[in-house]
Amino acid sequence: MDESETALVEAPPRRRPRAVDAKTPLLKQYLTLKEAHEDEVLFFRCGDFYEMFYDDAETVSKALGLVLTTRGPGQEECPMCGIPHHAIDRYLPRLIRMGFRVAICEQMEDPKSVQGKRIVERAVIEVITPGTLTDEKLLDEKEPCWLLAVNRPKRGSLGLAWIDVSTGRFYVTDVPREAQALEDELARVRPREVLIPEAAVRALADTPGSPAQPIDTDLGLAQVVRRALPGAALGAAPDWAFDGEQALVFLREKLGVATLACFDVEDRSPCVAAGHALLRYAEEMKPGFLKHVTEIVRHRPEAHVAIDAATARCLELVETLRGRERAGSLLGTIDASRTAMGGRLLREWMLSPLRDIAAIEARQDAIEALLGNKGALESVRDGLAKVYDLERLAGRVSSGRATPRDLAALRDSLAHLPALREKALEASAKPAPFPASGGAGGRLVSVAAKLDPLAPLSARLEKTLVPQPAASPSDGEIVAAGIDPELDELRGIARDATSHLARFQAREVERTGIPSLKVSYNSVFGYYIEVTQTHRDKVPEDYVRKQTLKNCERFLTPELKELEGKILTARERAEGLEATLLRELKDEVASAAPSLLSSARAVAELDAIASLAQVARDRGYVRPRVRPHSGTAIVAGKHPVLDAASTGEPFVPNDLLLEDLPAGPVPDGPGNEEKGRILVITGPNMAGKSTYIRQTALLVLLAQIGSFLPAASAEIGICDRIFARVGAADDLARGLSTFMVEMTETANILRHATERSLVVLDEVGRGTSTYDGVSIAWAIVEHLHDHVRCRALFATHYHELVGLARTKALVANRTCAVRETPRGKGKGQPGDVVFLRKIVPGGADRSYGLHVARLAGVPEPVVARAQKILAGLESGSFDALHARPAEPETPKAQLALFESPRERIAARLRSFDPNRTTPLDALVILSELKALAETERPA
Ligand SMILES: Nc1ncnc2c1ncn2[C@@H]1O[C@H](COP(=O)(O)OP(=O)(O)OP(=O)(O)O)[C@@H](O)[C@H]1O
Ligand SMILES: [Mg+2]
The pLDDT tens digits for 438-473 are 456 778 888 988 999 999 999 999 999 999 999 888
Q: d(Cα 278, Cα 165) in Å, to the nearest integer?
A: 10
Q: d(Cα 38, Cα 30) in Å, to the nearest integer?
A: 12
For the Cβ of 689 lying below 6 angstroms from any atom of ligand 1, the answer is: yes
Q: What is the pLDDT of residue 377?
A: 94
Q: What is the pLDDT of residue 14?
A: 43
| pLDDT band per the 50, 70, 90 thresholds, residue 624 | very high
The CA-to-CA distance between both ends of the chain, in Å, stands at: 63
Q: From 639, 690, 847, 848, give the residue whose CB has the most ligand 1 atoms within 8 Å, as the site to mutate.
A: 690
Q: What is the pLDDT of residue 937?
A: 57
Nearest-CA residue for atom 12 of ligand 1: 688
Q: d(Cα 668, Cα 100) in Å, to the nearest integer?
A: 62
Say how many Å lie between the CA of residue 802 and the centre of ligand 1.
20
pLDDT above 90 (res 198): yes
Residue 592 burial (CB < 10 Å; 0-12/13-18/19+)?
A: buried
Say how many Å lie between the CA of residue 653 and the centre of ligand 1.
12
Q: What is the pLDDT of residue 236?
A: 92
User: Is the pLDDT higher at 156 or at 562?
Assistant: 156
Q: Closest-lying ligand to the alpha carbon of 649? A: 1
| pLDDT band per the 50, 70, 90 thresholds, residue 210 | confident
- pLDDT (tens digit per residue) in 644-691: 987 778 899 999 999 999 888 877 878 888 889 999 999 888 889 999
Q: Closest-lying ligand to the alpha carbon of 696? A: 1
User: Is the pLDDT higher at 182 or at 911?
Assistant: 182
Which range, 102-111, 354-363, 732-741, 836-845, is most confident? 354-363
**Closest ligand 1 atom, residue 797 Cα:** 25
Buried b (16+ CB within 10 A) or exposed e, 762-781: bbbbbbbeeeebbebbbebb
For the Cβ of 652 lying below 6 angstroms from any atom of ligand 1, the answer is: yes
Calculate what percentage of the chain has a pLDDT beyond 90.
Answer: 52
**Closest ligand 1 atom, residue 653 Cα:** 1
| pLDDT band per the 50, 70, 90 thresholds, residue 909 | confident
Say how many Å lie between the CA of residue 771 and the centre of ligand 1.
26
What contacts 646, CB < 8 A, 6 or more positions away? none
Say how many Å lie between the CA of residue 468 and the centre of ligand 1.
54
Nearest-CA residue for atom 28 of ligand 1: 688
Question: For the chain, what percentages of helix, strand and coil (3-state, to nearest 5) are there?
Answer: 45, 15, 35
Q: Closest-lying ligand to the alpha carbon of 849? A: 1
Nearest to 556 by CA among 588, 530, 534: 530
Q: What is the pLDDT of residue 507?
A: 92
Say how many Å lie between the CA of residue 507 and the centre of ligand 1.
92
Say how many Å lie between the CA of residue 898 and the centre of ligand 1.
21
Q: d(Cα 15, Cα 309) in Å, to the nearest integer?
A: 40
Q: What is the pLDDT of residue 776?
A: 86
Q: Closest-lying ligand to the alpha carbon of 695? A: 1
Nearest-CA residue for atom 31 of ligand 1: 642
Residue 374 burial (CB < 10 Å; 0-12/13-18/19+)?
A: exposed
For the Cβ of 687 lying below 6 angstroms from any atom of ligand 1, the answer is: yes
Q: Mean of the pLDDT values across residues 255-278?
A: 94
For the Cβ of 537 lying below 6 angstroms from any atom of ligand 1, the answer is: no
Per the DSSP assignment, residues forming a β-bridge with 725 are 761
Per the DSSP assignment, residues forming a β-bridge with 816 are 839
Q: d(Cα 480, Cα 468) in Å, to the nearest integer?
A: 10
Calculate what percentage of the chain has a pLDDT beyond 70.
Answer: 91
| Per-residue CA distances from 639 to 334, 441, 619, 646, 709 (Å) | 12, 28, 12, 12, 10
Contact in structure between 172 and 161 (CB atoms under 8 Å) = yes
pLDDT above 80 (res 142): yes
- Angle at CA 11, nearest 5°, toward 8 and 12? 135
Q: d(Cα 840, Cα 816) in Å, to the nearest integer?
A: 6
Q: Mean of the pLDDT values across residues 542-546?
A: 91
- pLDDT (tens digit per residue) in 401-429: 889 999 999 999 999 999 999 999 888 87
For the Cβ of 637 lying below 6 angstroms from any atom of ligand 1, the answer is: no
Q: d(Cα 140, Cα 126) in Å, to the nearest integer?
A: 20
- pLDDT (tens digit per residue) in 97-140: 888 899 999 999 887 777 777 889 999 999 999 999 988 888 88
Q: What is the pLDDT of residue 833?
A: 72
Say how many Å lie between the CA of residue 678 and the centre of ligand 1.
20
Per the DSSP assignment, residues forming a β-bridge with 126 are 104
pLDDT above 50 (res 252): yes
Nearest to 381 by CA among 189, 607, 644: 607
Q: Closest-lying ligand to the alpha carbon of 636? A: 1
For the Cβ of 688 lying below 6 angstroms from any atom of ligand 1, the answer is: yes
Query: HSE (CB half, 13 Å, CA atoms) of 863?
Result: 21
Report helix, strand or coil for 697.
helix
Q: From 686, 837, 846, give the residue whose CB has the most ligand 1 atoms within 8 Å, as the site to mutate.
A: 686
Q: Mean of the pLDDT values across residues 597-606?
A: 94
For the Cβ of 815 lying below 6 angstroms from any atom of ligand 1, the answer is: no
Q: d(Cα 555, Cα 524) in Å, to the nearest integer?
A: 13
Q: What is the pLDDT of residue 885?
A: 45
- pLDDT (tens digit per residue) in 366-383: 999 999 887 889 999 999
Say how many Å lie between the CA of residue 728 and the centre of ligand 2.
12
Mean pLDDT of the residues in the chain: 86
Q: Closest-lying ligand to the alpha carbon of 855? A: 1
For the Cβ of 691 lying below 6 angstroms from any atom of ligand 1, the answer is: yes
What does the DSSP 8-state code read for residue 232? S
**Closest ligand 1 atom, residue 835 Cα:** 12
φ/ψ of 814, rounded to 5, equals -130, 150
Q: Mean of the pLDDT values across residues 576-603?
A: 92
Q: What is the pLDDT of residue 927?
A: 79
Query: HSE (CB half, 13 Å, CA atoms) of 87?
Result: 12
Nearest-CA residue for atom 8 of ligand 1: 688
Buried b (16+ CB within 10 A) or exposed e, 212-242: ebebeebbbbbbbbbbbbeebbbbbbeeebb
**Closest ligand 1 atom, residue 688 Cα:** 18
Per the DSSP assignment, residues forming a β-bridge with 326 are none
| pLDDT band per the 50, 70, 90 thresholds, residue 52 | very high
For the Cβ of 837 lying below 6 angstroms from any atom of ligand 1, the answer is: yes
| Per-residue CA distances from 568 to 94, 494, 560, 578, 634 (Å) | 43, 8, 12, 17, 78
Nearest to 849 by CA among 822, 824, 867: 867
How many residues does the structure list for the chain? Answer: 939
Q: Mean of the pLDDT values across residues 579-596?
A: 91
pLDDT above 80 (res 856): no
Nearest-CA residue for atom 4 of ligand 1: 651
For the Cβ of 690 lying below 6 angstroms from any atom of ligand 1, the answer is: yes
Pairing of strands 526-532, 518-522: antiparallel
Nearest-CA residue for atom 26 of ligand 1: 685
Q: d(Cα 287, Cα 303) in Å, to the nearest integer?
A: 35
Q: Where are the alpha helices (DSSP H) in 1-99?
A: 25-35, 54-64, 88-97
Q: d(Cα 83, Cα 90) in Å, to the nearest integer?
A: 10
Residue 914 burial (CB < 10 Å; 0-12/13-18/19+)?
A: exposed
